[in-house]
C-alpha cells in the first residue's frame, strides 16, 4: 500500500522517516516584522508543552509499527468539504489521514457549531468511538482533497491489544489532546473574545502557516463561521475583529484566505 507522497504539500511524507522534531522552525527572515523568530513561538499559555498535541499519531510510532498498522487498512479519498465521519453515527472504523487537512466540529442542540480541532497528515480520527463503542462525538470534514487509510474497528482494537507500544502511543496522544482541551477551557474562562481570536490566529500561523513574501499565509482554508466557532463567538464578531486587524495592517483577508502581516500585533492582543 502506498501512503507516502513527499512531493505534494500537506502529505504524510514528513512523518515517515525521519520523524519530525518538536519545535522545528520555519525558514525565513522574520516575516512577522520585528520578532525575528519562526512559526513555532508559543501562544499565550507559553511553554513547549503547547506543542505536544500537535505531534500526530503516526509520528509517535516506530517505522515497523506504522507499516504494520497501515497495512491493515484500505485507502479512501475524499473531496473538499466532504464529511469523513459524522457526529452521532455509530462507529465502524477509524481513519488515519495521510494527505490533506480536516476540521473536527461538534454541533449543539440549538444548531451552534464549534470548531474543535484541525487534523492533518499522520493524525488519527474516530479512535475514541472505536474504542468505547459509543456514537461519534464529532463530525470530521475535509478542508481540501484528503486521503486516508481506513481500519475496521475490530482490526484496530486487535492490533492495539497485541502492540503495547502503539497502545501507549495512543494513550499519550489522548492525554496530550485532553491537556490541550483543558488549556482551551482555561482560555475561554480567562480571555476575552478579542484575545482568544488573536491566540487562535497565532496558533494557526504556528501549525498551519507558510511563509510568503507578504507574510505568513494560513494554509488551511477556514470560513468566518468556522473561525467564530473556534473561539465561541458570532460570525459578526469575527468580522469586526478582522476589520480591526486589517485597519492595523496586521492581516490581509480574502475568501477563505488570510495572510498574517504582523505577528507582534497578535501577540500583544493575545497577552491582553
Instruction: Report pLDDT digits (tens) over 40-51.
Output: 333 334 444 444
Q: What is the 3-state secondary structure (H, E, C) of the chain?
A: CCCCCCCCCCEHHHHCCCCCCCCCCCCCCCCCCCCCCCCCCCCCCCCHHHHHHHCCCHHHCCHHHHHHHHCCCEEEEECCCCEEECCCCCCCEEEEEEECCEEEEEECCCCCEEEEEEECCCCEECHHHHHHCCCCCCEEEECCCEEEEEEEHHHHHHHHHCCHHHHHHHHHHHHHHHHHHHHHHHHHHHCCHHHHHHHHHHHHHHHHEEECCCCEEECCCCCHHHHHHHHCCCHHHHHHHHHHHHHCCCEEEECCEEEECCHHHHHHHHCC
pLDDT digits (tens, 9 = 90+) for 59-102: 999 999 999 999 999 999 999 999 999 999 998 999 999 999 99
pLDDT band at 12 (very low <50, low <70, confident <90, very high): very low
pTM of the predicted model as reported, rounded to 2 decimal places: 0.75
Amino acid at each position: 500500500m502506498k501512503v507516502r507522497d513527499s512531493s505534494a504539500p500537506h502529505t504524510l511524507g514528513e512523518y515517515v522517516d525521519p520523524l519530525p522534531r518538536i519545535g522545528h522552525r520555519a525558514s525565513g527572515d522574520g516575516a512577522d516584522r520585528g520578532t525575528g523568530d519562526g512559526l513555532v513561538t508559543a501562544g499565550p499559555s507559553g511553554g513547549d508543552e503547547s506543542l505536544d498535541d500537535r505531534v500526530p499519531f503516526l509520528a509517535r510510532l516506530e517505522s515497523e509499527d506504522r507499516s504494520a498498522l497501515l497495512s491493515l487498512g484500505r485507502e479512501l479519498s475524499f473531496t473538499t468539504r466532504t464529511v469523513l465521519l459524522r457526529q452521532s453515527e455509530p462507529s465502524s472504523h477509524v481513519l488515519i489521514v495521510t494527505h490533506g487537512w480536516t476540521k473536527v466540529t461538534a454541533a449543539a442542540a440549538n444548531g451552534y457549531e464549534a470548531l474543535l480541532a484541525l487534523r492533518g497528515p499522520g493524525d488519527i480520527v474516530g479512535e475514541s468511538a472505536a474504542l468505547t463503542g459509543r456514537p461519534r462525538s464529532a463530525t470530521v470534514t475535509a478542508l481540501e482533497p484528503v486521503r486516508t487509510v481506513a481500519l475496521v474497528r475490530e482490526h484496530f482494537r486487535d492490533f492495539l491489544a497485541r502492540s503495547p507500544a502503539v497502545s501507549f502511543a495512543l494513550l499519550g496522544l489522548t492525554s496530550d489532546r485532553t491537556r490541550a482541551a483543558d488549556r482551551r477551557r482555561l482560555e475561554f474562562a480567562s480571555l476575552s473574545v478579542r484575545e482568544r481570536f488573536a491566540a487562535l490566529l497565532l496558533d494557526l500561523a504556528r501549525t498551519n502557516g507558510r511563509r510568503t513574501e507578504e507574510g505568513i499565509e494560513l494554509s488551511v482554508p477556514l470560513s468566518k463561521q468556522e473561525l467564530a466557532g473556534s473561539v465561541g463567538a458570532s460570525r459578526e464578531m469575527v468580522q469586526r475583529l478582522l476589520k480591526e486587524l486589517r485597519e492595523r495592517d496586521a492581516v490581509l483577508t480574502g475568501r477563505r484566505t488570510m495572510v498574517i502581516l504582523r505577528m507582534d500585533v497578535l501577540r500583544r492582543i493575545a497577552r491582553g
